[in-house]
Structure formats: structure tokens, C-alpha cells
Amino acid sequence: MALLPLLSVAGDITGSALPMAVVDDQRYNRAIHIMVMLLIGFGFLMVFVRKYGRSALTATFMLVSTSLPLYLLINRINPGHGTDEIDRLIYAEFCAASLLITAGAVLGRLKMQQYILLGLLFVPFYMFNEWMVLQGGLGLIPSGAVADTGGSIVIHAFGAIFGLGVALTMTTKQDFEKTIESDSTSDRYSMLGSMALWIFWPSFCAALVPPDKMPHTVVNVILALCASTLTTYLTSVSIRKRISIADIANAALAGGVAIGSTCDSASHTMAVVIGMMAGGLSTIGFSIIQAKQQRFMKIIDTCGVTNLHGLPGLMGGLAAMPVVRGLHMENQLMGILITIVVAFLTGLVSGKILPFLGRKVESYEDVDEFVDAEN
Amino acid sequence: MALLPLLSVAGDITGSALPMAVVDDQRYNRAIHIMVMLLIGFGFLMVFVRKYGRSALTATFMLVSTSLPLYLLINRINPGHGTDEIDRLIYAEFCAASLLITAGAVLGRLKMQQYILLGLLFVPFYMFNEWMVLQGGLGLIPSGAVADTGGSIVIHAFGAIFGLGVALTMTTKQDFEKTIESDSTSDRYSMLGSMALWIFWPSFCAALVPPDKMPHTVVNVILALCASTLTTYLTSVSIRKRISIADIANAALAGGVAIGSTCDSASHTMAVVIGMMAGGLSTIGFSIIQAKQQRFMKIIDTCGVTNLHGLPGLMGGLAAMPVVRGLHMENQLMGILITIVVAFLTGLVSGKILPFLGRKVESYEDVDEFVDAEN
Amino acid sequence: MALLPLLSVAGDITGSALPMAVVDDQRYNRAIHIMVMLLIGFGFLMVFVRKYGRSALTATFMLVSTSLPLYLLINRINPGHGTDEIDRLIYAEFCAASLLITAGAVLGRLKMQQYILLGLLFVPFYMFNEWMVLQGGLGLIPSGAVADTGGSIVIHAFGAIFGLGVALTMTTKQDFEKTIESDSTSDRYSMLGSMALWIFWPSFCAALVPPDKMPHTVVNVILALCASTLTTYLTSVSIRKRISIADIANAALAGGVAIGSTCDSASHTMAVVIGMMAGGLSTIGFSIIQAKQQRFMKIIDTCGVTNLHGLPGLMGGLAAMPVVRGLHMENQLMGILITIVVAFLTGLVSGKILPFLGRKVESYEDVDEFVDAEN
């Protein structure tokens, strides 16, 4: 089966020869791996902001604790992914990952309660897009006709573009004058987050892949990550003359983002190629495009999610067209287009609602909201 | 089966349809997850003491390395939990978790060799209580009649109360004048420990649950944790006006502590309720009760284990009475009572023995015992 | 079967009663555990060098991203370990672990591109030794006649001795005048790496062990680690009067190194004995031997890989002779001898090639190569 989109998998698996208790356990281990990515991975990656570490980690806790139960609740009312508890948990985690990407775009400019509100707004919008792109919602695309096993489009690109929509209202003029500082300790924490994401990425992409396709899938993801990591280093020193640790911590992961749509169908060689392209594209994003984008859009994208999740996510979605056999180009393009439009518009709407809770006084600093944060 | 206490599980599983090599592997993955909790989880959570990080981490290593082999050795002589090697390892890890909780109560006031001695004393006392409460020891409670699958009572409450017993002799007058300092780096390390505990908590609770009950159990644990995390934030800002990162790092976990007794039998809704109550109770503990308790008992509870493990553990044990069908109230109450009495008395005895190895000169500082700890 | 060397395992397993999809999944979880060891484990253990954290972590990324694909590529051309994708990935990870050990010997004295070149040189040499010692290459030892399930010889000793070969040319006179500084933050990061290695070590050793031998194997590894951890503390304070955190972070792991060759065949008691001996030997190495060795060999071994991987690795390989039933002593000795000779000579050759890319200006400092590394 060449075409293996996110949603058709559960059904395929249930039909396999393995007992459900075995399949559930396999997926449970993936679900825990993804949980490491959500909390330690995304959480510590965002600790690169020197004076905002307590906030970034607390926000991560809040975003995850808001989105998982809310997704499970809505999904219980409208069980789009079947009723297997572990499958539902994994889909909820995918949503939480996308939300954390969104939060990265406005990190440091939201109060703690605004992160929670962001989560409440994000989850239904995310599920609406997931329903349209993967489950045949509104009849725009047949169910299962978009290749996006590891979520390049519906998780990564959606989260990044939603984040840009939010950033449009959640960036003030003063924010442009404030530099986002890091230091050697925050950089090392950030690399911890990056490595946690890198390590468990194969489980993210293979979480719902049938057991017999798992080995090929996980090796593909690892190859794409190795390729993007090496390419990031080479591109970073080529452009900047020196290495930027922010490039390494972020762009090294772009291979994982981009291989998402094709992780189970690409050849190993193709996985390496996609990884290299993603690493290069992402590093160019961080080193060259980001400054221009921020001036052009009048936003600040704190973590550069455009470069890590947006561009590589879209690239990965497009790469599926030549790579995945049996894929109808118009469906894949439509899936990407819907995601872009829905993400941006719903992000924009959310960004209009968040300021009702006010604005953070000192951007990028714990001291605003935390007891004893002077040290 | 509504009633599924810690000890009856192994037998249930062996009778299942899955080959032992499959069940053993499933449990092995849980055992490794618990090991992350013991070392990185408990270890780094205790690094919040700014100048005592090297000691806290070394002590964690010593406590784990003392208790695991000792438990396995005693258990070999008296094989209460059957002979499966992985099952025995998991029970030994539960004991190590309880010991680490105890150590949290007196953290920073013990010399390194006293942590090792504490481990040697703790393990047999812990096993004595485990035997009485869960295995029908002394005939006080029928074997398997106490609901405590994830150890709210015999692991969390036992460890916390034992720790209070020890603290009674291991707190000096000078300790009351010394503030326990943290800074942004130690706080971020502490959040790493907290997140590691949060992430792998479902594996702790589901380690010995039969495969078919695993999905419901792990979702319950995750829901309880999400609920306590959100409630902790809300309670912390309500009481203190600002967020305390110590509340977040600790009380967020209270849902995991409290859901222990009922993780496999509560409904999802009930899991959320238990998580909320635990998060609120624990945060009130840290922000209001702890200061009064310390003055009243004339002890210092360094990590506030009373608030994170003691109160939520007891609450979780009590919550089983309305929640678990078929549970005899008198057995559950007797299990809790025995645990309180045994833990406090044996903790007190241990606290009388520890001072034979002297007293730490500078509390809460590495410099006492470590080479080059000035930096 | 008493004799269970690295390479015969895959075949044994395939013949077992479990479906391949189940076995592959079990091994996949081990593979991810090993990935944690490679990146967070080895990576953060090396962060103990205060001003070189960004470099150490970036180098870890580069070494892993170079060696995994290269190993898989060469192995595809000459499939010595069968064709199972997950098995091949695990063998590639073993190679990456050995390379990271080598890098530890010269850490801080290589430019970033030299780490990549080191990886390119190391992989074929490592595979050559693996082929000779384990697969009957050149007909010196029958295939499968060396006991080295967890790689004491071909992974740990090889990596350490190769590293010494490289260090011979990659140590300058100025390096002797430069102290390698650490501080409380770098020490705590280092303990994080150490704990990550400790936690997942059982998965490293049991990665390719047949399912029915897994429980005994992992308990052996944990017992050996507990024994070496306690012995390290006792030896460290005996020799130095105070605790050295570097001893704890490193020598505590020596039990894992030394149990490698016999992890699946030693009794639990023997595992404890091997762990104690390894912990003691390694601590003596760090506290006494290292200074003499560095003067004698005119090298600096930054991370002390001789003491953590070299001596305990050789000890573990030798310990197999009395422990493993049916083992022919001359084969085991020949395997160790070949490894020593091949590792040292090929390390020496590599060390002669690396300087073609120049020399790092400021040893042990990020500032040479990283943007904004002044903070």
C-alpha cells in the first residue's frame, strides 16, 4: 500500500494478525516517547530565552495539560479515529505538538493564562482542519487521500502558520526593540530539548504505522535527521562563517519535519535527500529569511517556527507528490492549501481574542509573573 | 475485576493468553521508564537546592544503588511476589521510589554515607509494611484486599511519613535559620526532573496492570496529571498572586500520586476529579500548610514531601473507597492506618540511628563533601 | 547456550516462536533507548567542560549523524549482520557509541569539521575489527567464538584505545598548561548524561539478546551498575578524602562497561563482583593512574576514556574467560589482542590525518567556532 495517510492506519492495524493487547502496548511506548517530545523536547528547546525559562516550561505544562483532555473530550463526542484509547491518546498528542509549535511563534509575549486560552482556542480549530484534510470533512478531499503519516502538513505546517496568524496581533512595536537573549546555560538546555526531539522523532512518525512498515519508516526518519543535522552545520558555517547554536538546535530537526508526509513510503535514498533539503532550507530560513520576514510581516516569531516547522513542513507535503505512488496530486495540493488557509485565518481570529486578557508587561522575562524570579 | 491491588496482578497476567516473553518485554519497558523517574526524575527535582546539586544527584545514585540490590536480595530469600525477574525488579523500583521520597524530607542535612545507611534501614521496613498491607502479613488484612495498584498508600504516603519520622531527629535549630536557596538554573533543572516524572508516571502506575486494562489505566493517569497541573497553576496564583515555580514543579505531580490507588478502576471523569483535588490540596500544602507544619512539628521537610506525596497519597488511598467496586472499606482504612503507624515509627527509629554517623557541617551545600565545589 | 556473542544472536532470534513484527518492535524500543545514550548520555556527559558545552553537544550531533548512515551504507554493501533493518540500526548505534568514546579522548582539541572527519575515518576501521573479531574475518577467530554480547571489547575497549591513538598527535604542548575547567552547572549537566547512560544501559546490553534471556541479562546489568556506583563512592572518598563528582559521573558507569562481555551468562552474584571490581578499577584510574599515564604517553585524555571504557572494557573481556561456559580462552584472548592492536594502529593513522584540517586555536572553548559564545 503506497498511500498511507494518518487516519486509515488504525483500521489497517486492527486487521493484522497481532493481538490487540500487543499492538496497544507497541503504540503505548510510542505515546510515551511522544510525551517526552512534548514536555522535555519542545519545553526545553524554548528555554533558549535566557530569562524566560521558568515561564517557557510552565507554559509547556499548561499547553499540554489543556490540549490533551480537550482533544480527548471533543473526540469522544465525535469519534473520528475509532475508539481505541491509545490511538486517541496519540492523536491528542499530535494536536498538542502542533499547539506547542504555535506557542513558539509568540513565546515570551503571552501571559500564562493566555497560553491556556490559546490552547482552548487552538484545539477545535486544529481538529476542524484535521477533519477536512484527512477524514473527508465537508467532502473537499476523499478520506485518506492526503499523504501525511508523520504530520508534515496537518501538524507542523498547521502549527507554524497558525502561530504566524496569532503573532500578527501579539507583536507590539516595543517588541522590535527588545533583543531575545540567550547564554551558555540556556543554550545547553535548548540543546537538551533539541536532542530529546531528535531521539524520539522516529516514534512520532511511526506511531500509527502498521508493524510491518515500522522498521523502514524509523530508519527513514533517522536518515532524514542525520542528513538535516549535517547539512545544517555545513549551511550555517557557509552563511555565517561561524556556527550558530540556534541553527543547530533547530534546523537539525527539519529533516524530521519534512520526512513526515513520506516517512513510510520514501526510499532510504530519498529520505536522505529530503533531509538534506530540509536542513538547508531551514538554516537559510533562520540565517537569512527570518529577518526579512519579520520586517515584512511586522511580527516577531520568537522560536522561528516558520523556519523549523513552516517551510520544511510545506516542503515535506509537496515532496510526497513525486515520492508516494498512487497519490493524486490535486488532493495533496488541496490538503496543503486548506491547511494554509484554515491555519492562518483561525490563528488570526485567536490572535484577536487573546488580548482580551491583557498584555504581558515585560516580554521574555519570568519576573513579571513568577515569585522570586530575580535570581 | 474491580479490585486490583498491587500484588494480585502478577498472577493474573501469567494466566493471560500472551507468551511470557511478550509480557516480560512489555514490563521491561515500564521498568526502564520507572528508572528514568528514579534517577532523572527524583534526582533532578531535588536539584532545586542551588548549592546542593552535586550532592542531590550523587545521593540519588547511592539511594538507588543501595535499595535495588537489597530489595532483590531480601525478596530472593522470601519471594513474596513470585519469581519473575522483571516483576521483582519493578517491585524493587517501587521501593526505591519510596526511599527517594523519604530522602526528600531530609535532603541537604545528611552526609553522603548517611543516605546509604538510610537506604539500608529503609528497605526492610518498607518490605515489612508491604507484606502486612498487601500480602496478608500477620493476618491483619486479607492478601490483595487493599486497592493500591499505583502505590498511593504503600509507596507515596509510606515514603513521606517515614521521612517525617526521620526529620524529627535530623533537623537542628540552626537549620531553621538557614534559607534553602534556589536560582533560575536550579529551578530549570528541577523542572526537568518534574517533567521526567510526569511523562513516565503512566508506566509507573500501569507497570503491573494486566495488558487489557493498560489503556484505560494510562489515560486515567494522564488525565489526573493534566488536571492537577492546571489546578496547581490556578491555586498557586490565587493564593500567592504570582506563580511559584516550586508549586508547579511539585504539585503538578500530585495527580499522579493520588490516582495511584484507583488508576485502573476509576472512570476518566473521576480521574480528572481526583487530579484536581490532589493538585489543589498539594498547592495549599506548599503555600499555606508547610510553614505551620514545620513550626508545629519542629522539623524541616526540605522538598515538601508531605505536600506532594503525603497528603495526596492518603487522599488517593481514601478515594478508592467510593470509587473501587467490591472494596471493603475496613480493609482499605486498616491498610492506610497500618502504613501511617509503621512508616512513622520505623522512620523515627531510623532517625535515631543516623546521627551515629555524625552531622553534616554546612546544610544544603556541596562544599562540605565535594572536591572543587566552590564553583 | 552459554556462549552468546554479538553476532550469532540475530539468527537465534529469528528462529524463535515470536512473530518478527513483535521481535522487531522489542528491538526498536532498545534502539531508541540506545539513541538516548548516544545523544543525551554521551553528549551531556561531555558537557562537564565548562566553556565547551555548545561544542560538545554539536560534536555529538555530528558524530552520530556521520556514523549511523555511513555504517548502514557500508553494511548494505557487505551485509554481515543479516538484513533486518532494526538489527542493522542497532549495530550502527554500537559503532556510534564506540566513536563517541574515541571523541571523548580528544574532546576540546578538535575543530567541528575534524569531528566529522574522525567519524568518516573511524567507521570503516571499527567495522574491520568487528569483522575480524566477531564474524570470522581473515579466519583468525571462528565466527561467534568471542563472548562480547554487550561490547566490552569491540565497542568500549576499541573506542578508548582508538582514542589514545588519535590523542598522540592531537595533543600539543600548550594543552598541558591548560586546565580543563568545570563548574556547578557543567557538573550537573554531566550528571544528567551519566544518569541517561546508567538508565538505558540494560537496553544497550540486551539489545540483541534472545527474549528468554533478556530478564536475566538486564538484572545483571543493573546489579553491576549498582555495585560499581557504590564502589566508586567508597573508592573516591578513600583515595581523595572528599568526593569527586567526576569520579561519580564516570566511574559509576564502569560496571556497565565491564559486564558487557558476560551480561547474559554471568550469575547475579558474579555480576555484582564484576561491577565492584570495575568501579574500583575505574576510580583508581581517574584518581591515580590518569596523571601518570598522561605524563608517560604525553597525551591528554580529556574525558578519561581510558579509565571508564579502556580498563573496564578489557577487564570485562577477560572476566568472560572464567565466567562463560564453553568459551575457548585462546579465542577470547585473541579477540582482545586483535582489538587492542587494530584500535591503536588505526587510531594512530587517523590522528595523522586529522591535522590536515588544521588545529583548534583555543582548546576547550566554544568561542573559537560559535557565534555569540561569549556569554
Q: Give pLDDT tens digits for C249-300.
A: 999 999 999 999 999 999 999 999 999 999 999 999 999 999 999 999 999 9
Q: What pLDDT is stored for residue A190 in this prediction? A: 98
Check CB contact under 8 Å for A65 and B17: no
Q: Does residue C253 contact residue C306 with C-beta atoms inside 8 Å?
A: no
**pLDDT in the model for residue C375:** 61
- CB-CB neighbours of A208 under 10 Å: 25
Nearest to A272 among C36, C61, C69 (CB): C69
- C199–B40 C-beta distance less than 8 A: yes
As averages over each run of 10 residues, the pLDDT of chain A (375 residues) reads 32 58 95 98 97 97 98 88 90 98 98 98 98 94 96 98 97 91 96 98 96 96 98 97 97 98 97 98 97 94 97 98 95 98 98 96 93 77
Look at residue C279 and tell me if it is in a domain.
Answer: yes
Q: What is the reported pLDDT for C373? A: 80
How does pLDDT run across C94-116, given as a tens digit for each residue? 999 999 999 999 999 999 999 99
User: Is pLDDT of B7 > 60?
Assistant: no
Q: Best residue in A23, A192, A375 to probe C by mutation, most C CBs within 10 Å?
A: A192
Q: What is the structure's pLDDT at C353? A: 98
Any domain includes A75: yes
- Is the pLDDT at B256 greater than 90? The verdict is yes
Question: Does B112 map to a domain?
Answer: yes
Q: Residue B291, Cβ neighbours under 10 Å: how many?
A: 10
Largest distance between two CA atoms of chain B: 60
Model pLDDT, residue B83: 81
For all residues of chain C together, what is the average pLDDT? 93
Show residues of chain C in contact with A242, CB under 8 Å: 369-371
Q: What is the pLDDT of residue C18?
A: 86
Share of chain B above pLDDT 90, in %: 90
Is residue A170 a contact partner of residue A106, using CB atoms and an 8 Å limit?
A: yes
Q: Quick check: B192 and A40 CB within 8 A?
A: yes
Mean pLDDT confidence for C357-374: 91
Q: How many domains does chain A have?
A: 1
How many interface pairs between B and C have CB atoms less than 8 angstroms apart?
A: 127
**What CATH number is associated with residue C28?**
1.10.3430.10
| pLDDT grade for B373, boundaries at 50, 70 and 90 | confident
Residue of B227, B324, B327, B210 lying closest to B269 (CA atoms): B227
∠ CA A127-A129-A135 to the nearest 5 degrees?
Answer: 85
- Is residue C10 a part of any domain in this protein? no
The pLDDT value given to residue B375: 60
The shortest CB-CB distance from A25 to any of B26, B181, B245 is to B26
Q: Is the ipTM reported for this complex over the cut 0.85?
A: yes
Q: pLDDT, tens digit, for every residue of B57-68? A: 999 999 999 999
- Mean pLDDT within B85-106: 97
Residue C330: Cβ within 10 Å count: 11
pLDDT tens column, C121-171: 999 999 999 999 999 999 999 999 999 999 999 999 999 999 999 999 999
Distance from CA of A252 to the nearest CA of C (A): 9
- Chains contacting B (3+ CB pairs below 8 angstroms): A, C
Q: Has residue B81 got a pLDDT over 90? A: no
> Is A6 inside any structural domain?
no
Q: Which helix (H) or strand (E) holds A64?
A: helix A53-77
To which residue does cell 543554550 refer? A187
The predicted model gives B148-177 an average pLDDT of 96
Give the pLDDT score at C77: 87
Task: Dump pLDDT digits (tens) for C339-349.
Answer: 999 999 999 99
Q: Cα-Cα-Cα-Cα dihedral of A244, A246, A248, A251, to 10°? A: -120
| pLDDT at A375 (0 to 100) | 60
Query: Where do we find the cell 561491577?
Result: C275
Cβ-contact A315, A278 below 8 angstroms:
yes
Residue A69 and residue A84: Cα distance in Å, rounded? 15
Full residue range of the structural domain in which residue A106 is found: 24-368
pLDDT score for B63: 98
pLDDT (0 to 100) of residue C16: 52
pLDDT of residue C171: 94
Contact between residue B370 and residue C245 where contact means Cβ atoms under 8 Å apart: yes
Q: What is the pLDDT of residue B78?
A: 79
Sign of the dihedral defined by the CA atoms of residues A240, A245, A246, A248, in that order: positive
By Cβ distance, the residue of B214, B230, B242 closest to A28 is B214
Tell if the CB–CB gap between C230 and B371 is shorter than 8 Å.
no
Of C40, C85, C375, the CB nearest to A195: C40
Res B1: pLDDT: 26
pLDDT of residue B18: 86
Residue B51 lies in a domain: yes
Task: Give the model's pLDDT for residue A203.
Answer: 98
Angle at C27 between CA C24 and CA C28, to 5 degrees: 80
Is there a domain that residue A102 lies in?
yes
Cβ neighbors of C183 (< 8 A, separation 6 or more) are B375, C50
Domain membership flag for residue B233: yes
pLDDT of residue A16: 52
| pLDDT exceeds 80 at position B200 | yes
Q: What are C196-224's pLDDT values in tens digits?
A: 999 999 999 999 999 999 999 999 999 99
pLDDT grade, residue B77 (50/70/90)?
confident
